[in-house]
Amino acid sequence: MEIKRGLGFWTLIIFAVLLNLMMLIGQTGSLFDYDFTVSIGLQESVEEVTGVGVAWAKGFAFGDTIFYIPLFIVGIIGLFKRKQWGIYSMFSALAITVYWPIVSLYAIFIGKNAFVLTPDKYVTYSIILPLIAIYGLWGMWYLYKNQDNVIR
- pTM (2 d.p.): 0.91
3-state helix, strand, coil in the chain (%, to 5): 85, 0, 15
- The structural domain count of the chain equals 1
Q: DSSP alpha helices (H): ranges in 81-118?
A: 84-110
Residue 134 covered by a domain: yes
Residue 2 covered by a domain: no
Residue 97 covered by a domain: yes
Compute CA distances 65 → 9, 21, 59, 73, 99, whole Å.
25, 12, 10, 11, 16
Residue 1 covered by a domain: no
Residue 20 covered by a domain: yes
Q: What is the chain's pLDDT, residue by residue, as a tens digit (152 residues)? A: 566 789 999 999 999 999 999 999 999 999 999 999 999 999 999 999 999 999 999 999 999 999 999 999 999 999 999 999 999 999 999 999 999 999 999 998 888 788 788 778 888 999 999 999 999 999 999 999 998 888 87
Helices (H) and strands (E) in the chain, counts: 7, 0
Residue 108 covered by a domain: yes
Domain that holds residue 79: 7-151
Residue 139 covered by a domain: yes
| CB-based contact 61:30 (threshold 8 Å) | yes
Compute CA distances 68 → 16, 24, 38, whole Å.
11, 10, 21
**Residue 50, phi-psi category: left (phi > 0), alpha (psi -120 to 50), beta (remainder):** left
Residue 59 covered by a domain: yes
